[in-house]
Structure 1
Amino acid sequence: MKRFLGVALAALLALSAAACGSKAEANQAETVKIAYLPITHSLAVLEEAKQLEDSSDVKVELVKYGSWPELLDALNAGKVDGASVLIELAMKSKAEGVGLKAVALGHRDGNVIVVSNDIADAKALKGKTIAIPHRQSSHFILVNDMLKENGLTIDDVNIVELAPTEMPSALAAGTIDGYCVAEPFGAMGVSIGAGKVLYESEELWDDSVCCGLVLTDSFIDKKPETAKTFVDAYKKAGSDLSKDEAKSIAKEYLNQKDEVLDLSLKWISYDDLEITEEMYEDLTEKVKSYGLLDNPPGYSEFVKNDF
């Protein structure tokens, strides 16, 4: 009898433990793995990760990369669930058959064209060397817009692709005459006295689209509710990003001096991060006009707002 009671008690305890385990598993937060570069353009998703640290529904696992090609390789291979990425790179991947959806902007505005101090105006850039991070970028588009506004074309300058971290020192050394890149590297060039701001992005392109938040189709299809919760929390995090909070997050992740961050954050905002059809159509026209991509994906094919 004692043996029977012992077996029954063990079985009851096992069932209880299994039930508790199932409950704990059911209450465990889903993790969304997001790739990013340590730039001010990624601050909304960094803020979201902080806000969701104690969430029982969704948490953000941040995966840092050192360059756009590295990040894109991980995104295209499905090693992450999504990324804060140059939207033109994501458009190209989508056009090549990678299952991606753009679900929000990374930021609003936040790009500048920096030139050496002896460049008086855009016309003086004829024959000069301008650096960009990648030809599939809004920075390349902004340079084209600037040249077009001043009666020049891309053939009138020498375009080079350069790592963002190298641009301020290259400008200081005189190996380039100007550059356009994600922040805070524009602010770095200005803060060290290597150059000055010739244009802010909104002076050339209203509602410019630069970085976007993208998710893989696989993740959205497998976990639609998690995707919705994640995107809603991301947009809220962007709206919550005051200049003070943005600077606090930037200091934690970007390892930049106060004067660089103060200047960089003057040019950028994170509220209202929805990608509208109008701004996307404007982007696709520029992408085609400046030779970034002949057949970019359409709005309904690539942008997802209907969670």
Structure 2
Amino acid sequence: MFDTPISRRRSLDFMAAGGLAAVMAAKGGLARAAEDEVVRIGHLPITDATALLVAHALGAFEEEGLKTEPPVLIRGWAPLAEGFAAGKFNLVHLLKPIPVWMRYNNNIPVKIVAWAHTNGSGLVVGSNTGITSFADLGGRQIAVPFWYSMHNIVLQIGIRSAGLTPVIKAAGEPLAKTEVNLQVLQPPEMPPALAAGKIDGYIVAEPFNALGELKAGGRILRFTGDIWKNHPCCVVAMHEADTVKRPEWSQKVVNAVVKAQIYASKNKKEVARLISQDGKGYIPLPAALVERAVTHYDDPDYDKLGANRHKKEWGNDRIDFQPWPYPSATKLIVEAMTKTVVSGDKTFLDKLDPDFVVKDLVTTDFVKKALVKYPEWKDDPSVNKGDPFNRVEQVVV
């Protein structure tokens, strides 16, 4: 299904048009998770999955009396979403817009139970492209990891701020100087594509920004957390049936994830090694690379390029870990999705009320109880200190 760029584009277009539900129906039903209480994790090889991976590595699920299977590594968002919808996994991390698309376009009963992390992504451009700002992206080819992604949203905010137009055109089609052509690549494919000159840049989660810097001749143009302060990227998602029929089990799962996030927030260097190929091997990349992806934010080159220009003012890091799903961010995402160019039909967004999505898609009962039980979550720099459960979103290009 994902062997070639053409087949990938067609499959993603099919899914965006509601084909995910059709695929699941053909397989015998939607989101039918196994009836036992074993925690089955699906994840991409990215630091967005840290909380789930650390919870597994440190035995946090077992501390809650749960059984787990080894986390299953998936290379791209489309197969992860399909695997979750088919019931192969009952605990996953998904880019925040994906559950919106799954629930309201494909009728997949998914629930967001917590945030998986904040920040943690960047826009990488080729060092030889001459790109020094969003204004220089005109006439260029930029890759995103999925149409319904925080990356696509933040990228297009930057593109439009420079007076440019995001478009989706086939290879070889004429591209105006004011147009930025977008395509979807799975995260592991991005650095090789940049190194080969097939694209001019990409926006993605870590550690593929760090990999692009060190191995693909890339440099960070902007960190996404420097454009949208402490934005959500991946969220923790579960089947709605589990949250309704197995509330005690669901609470234990969320407790374990929250404990893992607190640990990750306080022990980033150690956690980077733990999830790398030199540790438990969840992310098949060296510890030094994953450590850079998690901890390396103070850099004179970043200061010179303006990659993290709000660092001192905002006080965030390259990636942070806090689980509370701020309602204001969910509302902003739904509003931004209506303006974001994607391939396929997105008419489902036309009448989607952001306030309704906040209440219908996100369930806060489990995470709220966990946060009361483990108040150390408030120590993370991405938590709003004045009012930990509410904030005003800040987006500054």
Q: TM-score range by the shorter chain?
A: 0.7 to 0.9
Q: CA deviation at 1:45?
A: 0.4
SS in 2 for 1:98: coil
Would the aligned equivalents of 1:277 and 1:299 in 2 still touch at CA under 8 Å?
yes
1:55 aligns with 2:63: yes
> Higher helix fraction: Structure 1 or Structure 2?
1
Is 1:102 matched up with 2:131?
Answer: no
Worse-matched range after superposition: 256-265 or 236-245: 256-265
CA displacement 1:44-102 (0-9 Å, x = unmatched): 00111123364361233323322212111111122222311122122111112211110
Q: Among residues 238, 256, 259, which one is paired with 2:285 in the alignment? A: 256
Q: CA deviation at 1:273?
A: 1.2
The question of whether the paired residues in 2 share the 8 Å contact of 1:104 and 1:274 is answered with yes
Higher Cα radius of gyration:
1
Contact 1:187–1:260 (CA under 8 A) maintained in structure 2: yes
Partner of 2:50: 43
Contact conserved, 2:54 with 2:275, CA < 8 A, in 1? no
Which range is displaced more, 49-58 or 180-189?
49-58
- How far, CA to CA, are the matches of 1:140 and 1:56 in structure 2? 37
Match of 2:94 among 85, 107, 117: 85
The reply to whether residue 170 of structure 1 matches residue 179 of structure 2 is: no
**2:340 aligned with 1:290:** yes
Q: In the TM superposition, what whole-angstrom CA distance separates every residue of 1:145-197 from its partner, at most 9, and x where no partner exists?
A: 11122222214111111121121111111111010012111110101251110
* Secondary structure in 2 matching 1:289: coil
Helix, strand or coil for the counterpart of 2:40?
strand
Matches within 5 A, 1:236-255: 236-241=259-264, 242-251=267-276, 252=280, 253-255=282-284
TM-score, with normalisation over the residues of structure 2?
Answer: 0.66
| One-letter amino acid matched to 2:283 | L
1:56–1:92 CA distance, 2 compared to 1 (3 A): closer
Quote how far apart the aligned CAs of 1:302 are: 0.3
Q: Does 1:265 align with 2:294?
A: yes
Distance 1:103-1:152 versus aligned 2 partners, 3 A rule:
same
Q: Distance in 1 between matches of 2:157 and 2:260?
A: 31
Match of 2:220 among 197, 200, 209: 197
Percent identity among equivalent residues?
A: 29
Over the aligned positions, Cα root-mean-square deviation in angstroms equals 1.9
Question: Measured at CA, do residues 225 and 56 of structure 1 come closer, stay the same or move farther in structure 2, by a change above 3 Å?
Answer: closer
1:166/1:63 Cα in 2 relative to 1: closer, same or farther (>3 Å)? closer
Counterpart Cα distance in 1 of 2:64 and 2:136: 56
Q: CA deviation at 1:39?
A: 1.2
Q: Distance in 2 between matches of 1:77 and 1:193?
A: 36
Counterpart selection for 1:137 from 149, 153, 156: 149
Partner secondary structure for residue 199 of structure 1: strand
Write the letter of the residue equivalent to 2:193.
Answer: A
Quickly say closer, same or farther: Cα 1:259–1:146, change in 2 above 3 A.
farther
Q: List structure 1 runs of 4+ shifted beyond 6 angstroms.
A: none
Aligned counterpart in structure 2 of residue 278 of structure 1, from 328, 342, 346: 328
Equivalent-residue separation in structure 2 for 1:56 and 1:275 (angstroms): 22
Whole-angstrom distance in 1 between the partners of 2:360 and 2:80 = 22
Give the equivalent residue in structure 2 for 1:13: none
* Contact 1:52–1:59 (Cα < 8 Å) also in 2: no
172-181 or 198-207, which moves further after superposition?
198-207
Which of residues 134, 138, 146 in structure 2 aligns to 1:126? 138
User: Partners in 1 of 2:326 and 2:39 — Cα distance?
Assistant: 24
Show structure 1 runs of 5+ residues with no match. 1-28
SS of the aligned residue for 2:107 comes to coil
Provide the rounded CA distance (Å) in 1 between the counterparts of 2:121 and 2:239: 26
**1:275 alignment partner, SS class:** coil
1:218-269 superposed Cα distances (whole Å, 9 cap, x missing partner) = 1122211010111122111101111123212221311212442122103112
Assess if the C-alpha contact under 8 Å between 1:191 and 1:259 holds in 2: no
Indicate if the aligned counterparts of 1:103 and 1:213 stay in contact, CA closer than 8 A: yes
Aligned residues: 278
